[in-house]
Structure 1
Amino acid sequence: MTKNLTLIPSEKMQEVLYKLFLKYKFTDAKAKLMAEVFADNSLSGVNSHGINRVSPFIKYVEEGLVKKDAEAVKVESFGSIERWDGNFGPGIINARICTNRAIELAKSHGMGLVALRNTNHWMRGGSYGWQTAEAGCISILFTNTKPNMPPWGAKESRLGNNPFIISIPRAGGHIVLDMAISQFSFGKINEYKLRGEQLPYPGGWDENDELSKDPEKILSKERGLPIGYWKGSALSIVLDMLATILSAGNSTSKIGLNEHETGISQIFLCIYPEIFHDQNLQEKLLNEIIDYTHNAEPIDSENKIYYPGERALQNKAKNLKDGIPVSKEIWQNVIELLG
């Protein structure tokens, strides 16, 4: 562990965050839920969307961009499809509400979709993938963001890195894909910056329009590199289109008109696989694919091949035992906010 990191027990992190959110006048239930989600994100090895996001979140609350007493409400219903308005409430609370509703719709209809507008950052999108998998549902979830990636071949950022999640329930360990459409999320880039490290692969463009591994240069321009180059650029565009038209909400272009990222649009799609009445077959097929993938010979004999979500489970087990590695600077900022 590097000298600028400290180990924080999960229970302590959750307790500190719970008290912090109470201090900022969130209800007991909301304070408890947000503390659990922020801490669990870090426990799973995703500080970039866990503890590292707490101070910026509090700043949004102080500036009135996150309305602590507001939450998502249903505004239109079309059978198994619904539109909700987040009323600029906390992103975690709104996402939990809409994920729960998509699960309910899926268990009633086989499939359910909730389109949410006017919400705030949901932090780690994978949280809601794990939530749906625990409820026995397959999910496809995504959000748009402020512009932070250039369309392929352009200089200016006009696309969002639009995080995309797919989860599949499995008795032997859920499968959860959680990825930004940029090569690295900006939270992850900032994590490398905090550690004083270069990215392992190019993650965006610098001021000279050159691809760079330097997190400071990428963050200064906010021009992330799309996954798959032109393919990621196209995927970002269509995810933004779907989130916008299904929710009747803001597109990345509208979000970019604001000084801060707020009023974003999100999609929560759930499928209930038990309607097929062949759970044993589904488990067998999933294990067949995982075994086939696991058995591929790694290029580096020291490495192991993982399925999506497997490392998150390993991180969780390790961090529960040893404590969560956290930037000393980030943790001190949180303690100072608590006063």
Structure 2
Amino acid sequence: MSGVMYAVDDLLQLATACFQAAGVTDEDARWTAQVLVRADLQGTATHGLSRLSAYVSGICNGKIKPQPEMKIDETGPATAVIDGDQGLGPVVGKIAMEAALDKAKVAGVGITAVRNGNHAGAMSTYTELAASRGCIGFALTNAQPAIPPWGGRKAYFGTNPIALAAPQKDGQPVSIDLATSVVARGNIIMAAKRNEPIPGGWAIDANGDPTTDAAAALKGALLPMAGPKGYSLALIVEILSGLLSGGNFGYNVGSIYDEGTAPPGTSMFFMALNPDFFIGQSIFETRVSQLAREVTSVPLASGHERIRMPGDRRQRLENERRLQGVPIASETEKELRQICKKYSITMPKSLAPKSPVAY
């Protein structure tokens, strides 16, 4: 994969301007831009600015409301159900996690279930928000059908990601963020845009046969990670997000990429745990740091150079790219230019316009 380097601030300004032009409020535009650009900073291009075109198109065709009227139903001292009113997923996700954090300050735990949401980007965004405030963050979301139940050939569950982050005494939080499919669906979308094959074992076509054709995979289904175990995890996500919130689940969850104007109606689940109500903030963070040291000092297996904690690689890339610039794939750059043209926004200059870099 290759791309052209852009300065972080330029990309943030560009994405913010695009959302503002589409009718999003300044505050929500800035936050959503941060969510997308940070995904590119951390090497998760499938959830970065490659999604900007779909978000803006979703606003234009009515799938996403640029200024939703969200409702928070305070169902108890530690719980709430939130109606996202089809707003931008990152905006809905932030409000939901912040509501959970507010409850965790008082009750030790805060849980929010969300209905009528949208694609929210990388779920680690919200768990790391919790960790930055001293809590353990847990976040789930369902999505449009992408993987079949184990033994099936038709997609029913979304890739249904699971994320958890825990603060530690020194350094960045331990941050786990994974899809319950073999790979995130964004990898298939990116391969289809490039007309490139995908590895075997990733997906099946509409007939249930293994395929390396990305376009056929999008019409078929991704495979669950670890076979029946991945299917079971996807089922857990569906129960906690779709069922508990009273929102869409299974076949009823749509996509910002689908034709038509029906909103996706994505469902989500957020939880914040306050360590002060257990063993204390400082003690907990010290124990997380101890855990990280012990895990990464385990003797290495043959062929491995080091052991990383989840989130380490993403944070290392973010630190580097904030200084050196962010690589943007040519397909994404083309989409960005089209949006800029539509809204008469000036496309920023690349840091190395004649020298694509590998990433």
| Fold match by TM threshold 0.5 | yes
The partner residue of 2:244 within 219, 225, 246 is 246
Deviations 1:208-266 (A, max 9, x none): 63444554442342x11111101111221232122123211111232259856611111
Q: Match for 1:306 among 295, 308, 313? A: 308
5 Å-filtered alignment, 1:1-339, equals: 2=1, 4-171=2-169, 172-193=171-192, 199=198, 202-206=201-205, 209-221=208-220, 223-255=221-253, 262-295=264-297, 296-301=299-304, 303-339=305-341
Letter in 2 for 1:321: L
- 1:112 shift after superposition: 0.6
Amino acid in the other structure paired with 1:41: A
Change (3 A) 1:194 1:143: same
CA displacement 1:289-331 (0-9 Å, x = unmatched):
3223222304324x43211111111110121122111112211
Q: Distance in 1 between matches of 2:195 and 2:292?
A: 35
Determine the C-alpha separation between the residues in 1 that align with 2:182 and 2:318.
23
In structure 1, distance between residues paired with 2:280 and 2:196: 48
SS in 2 for 1:64: coil
Amino acid in structure 2 at the alignment position of 1:184: V
CA contact (8 A) 2:159 2:184 kept: yes
Moved more, 229-238 or 255-264: 255-264
Aligned 8 A contact 2:62 2:263 in 1:
no
Which residue identity is paired with 1:124?
A
Q: How many residues align?
A: 335
- Residue aligned with 1:337, SS: helix
Residues 246, 77 of structure 1: CA spacing in aligned structure 2 closer, same or farther, 3 A cutoff?
same
What letter corresponds to residue 20 of structure 1 in structure 2? Answer: C
- Give the TM-score normalised by the residue count of structure 1: 0.91
Question: Secondary structure at the residue paired with 1:300?
Answer: coil
TM-score between both structures, scaled by the size of structure 2: 0.87
- The amino acid across from 1:191 in the alignment is M
Give yes or no for contact 2:100–2:112 (8 Å, CA) kept in 1: yes
**Shift in alpha-carbon separation, 1:297–1:200, aligned structure 2, 3 A:** farther
Q: 1:331 to 1:294 in 2, by over 3 A?
A: same
Q: Which amino acid aligns with 2:67?
A: D
- Using the TM superposition, give the Cα deviation of residue 42 of structure 1 relative to its aligned residue in structure 2, in angstroms: 1.1
Q: 1:315 to 1:214 in 2, by over 3 A?
A: farther
**Tell me, what secondary structure is at the counterpart of 2:120?**
coil
Q: Could you say what secondary structure the match of 2:222 adopts?
A: coil
Provide, for residues 149-176 of structure 1, a one-character-per-residue CA deviation record: whole Å limited to 9, x for no partner. Answer: 1111111111221111111111322011
Q: Secondary structure at the match of 1:25?
A: coil
Flag the 1:297–1:193 CA change in 2: closer, same or farther, 3 A.
farther
Amino acid in structure 1 at the alignment position of 2:39: N
Name the stretch that deviates more: 23-32 or 61-70.
Answer: 23-32
Identity across the alignment (%): 26
Q: CA RMSD in A?
A: 2.2
Gaps of 5+ in 2: 342-359
Counterpart residue identity of residue 119, structure 2: H
